[in-house]
Amino acid sequence: MANDGEFKRDQNYITTRITADGRDGYPVEPGRYRLVIARACPWANRAAIVRRLLGLEDVLSMGICGPVHDERSWTFDLDPGGKDPVLGIERLQEAFFKRDPEYPRGITVPAIVDIPTGQVVTNDFAQITIDMSLEWTAHHRDGAPELYPERLRDEIDDVASKVFKDVNNGVYQCGFATSQEAYDEAYRRLWDRLDWLSDRLAGRRYLVGDTITEADVRLFTTLVRFDAVYHGHFKCNRHKLSEMPVLWAYTRDLFQTPGFGDTIHFPQIKEHYYVVHKTVNPTGIVPAGPDESGWLTPHGREELGGRPFGDGTPPRPPIEAERVPGPGEGASTAKPAH
């Protein structure tokens, strides 16, 4: 937290990469690595979506932490015995300390762990999804979409940078500001950018090009959490997402696209934010709303054209161990991945 009350995100991550040629010492190998996420976390949600869209479930297993953590780290409390069934650890912290016993920074998701050594390879969330697209191509499913096409990368990077600064991170800068001035500035930038995005998406179905790209994945994970947590909990309350016609329709369109909404667990999202952030919500009370039924209503975005997967096809349904309850199915805990 800066002296002026502005929230400053620590963006120093373990940047080792898993690549096709193994140049960082970690070659792409089916079954060697485990992606660790939490359903609650928007940054981890990106990796879960991209893994689904590209069909990497059979080559990159996924561990799922519970929605609540303490100052030490995320825990595997959803799994039998409170241990990840593949890594055999109770806390993600253990994988970070195997890599560096003096690891000084936050224990974050998503993280990819090398199963043979039990060491974390990387928690660089922005690079993880790009590498899934570019380095794991030999293991993509038939019909996998091109989420980071070379011809559009400059535009995707430009849009994604704006979205990160003002929206993905902007909601946190609103919620964790400790001065009125810092909050007001973050609030202004957030809504200026959301208005810009609304204008951009008014006449086009997706952010860049006519198919889903990395840019859409990055925006979706913030917008899908907006009414449930950011509007009230983080004081981002000019409008609800459901009161912004273009962005509400856009987000519903993606939510109803295989690979997006089937990664979203609203009860865990709410539990994380309202329970963990004691400085923002000291009572720890988790709100009952909002009503989730609207997520499945018609969005009308097909009229704008575009093809979600380009020349590809939708991903298969989630494997049973990774299925989440859909809107209206209740607050049951997601089944752990094995």
pLDDT in tens, 86-113: 999 999 999 999 999 999 999 999 999 9
172 classed as catalytic: yes
Q: What percent of the chain has pLDDT over 90?
A: 91
The secondary structure of 257-305 as a DSSP string is STTTGGG--HHHHHHHHHHH-TTT-TT-PPP-----GGGGS---GGGG-
pLDDT of residue 335: 41
Q: Say what percent of the chain tops pLDDT 70.
A: 96
Torsion angles phi and psi, residue 246, rounded to 5: -70, -50
Say which of 13, 26, 148, 172 is annotated catalytic. Answer: 172
**Active-site pick, 33, 41, 65, 236:** 41
Convert the pLDDT of each residue in 234-277 to its tens digit.
999 999 999 999 999 999 999 999 999 999 999 999 999 999 99
In the chain, where does the domain assigned CATH 1.20.1050.10 lie? Answer: 150-322
Determine the pLDDT at residue 3: 59
Model confidence band, residue 72 (pLDDT cutoffs 50, 70, 90): confident
DSSP output for 57-98: TTTSEEEEE-S---SS--B-TTSGGGS-TTT--SBTHHHHHH
Q: Does 183 participate in catalysis according to the annotation?
A: no
Distance CA 204, CA 248 (A): 14
Q: For residues 329 and 338, what is the distance between their CA atoms, to the nearest angstrom?
A: 23
DSSP 8-state secondary structure symbol assigned to residue 332: P
DSSP 211: S
Superfamily for domain range 33-139 = Glutaredoxin (3.40.30.10)
pLDDT digits (tens, 9 = 90+) for 25-63: 999 999 999 999 999 999 999 999 999 999 999 999 999
Tally of CA atoms within 13 A in the half-sphere of 199 that contains its CB: 6
Q: Is the pLDDT of residue 310 over 50?
A: yes
**Residue predicted with more confidence, 336 or 266:** 266
What value does the mean pLDDT take over residues 190-219? 98
The answer to pTM > 0.75 is yes
Distance between CA 110 and CA 45 in Å, rounded? 8
Residue ranges matching CATH 3.40.30.10 in the chain: 33-139
Q: What confidence category does residue 336 fall into, taking pLDDT thresholds of 50, 70 and 90? A: very low
Report the SS3 class of residue 3: coil
7-11, 141-145, 150-154, 311-315: segment of lowest average pLDDT? 7-11
Using an 8 Å Cβ cutoff, are 168 and 234 in contact? no
What is the CATH architecture of 150-322?
Up-down Bundle (1.20)
Residue 18, number of CB atoms within 10 A of its CB: 24
Nearest to 99 by CA among 111, 85, 82: 111
Amino acid identity for residue 279 in this structure: T
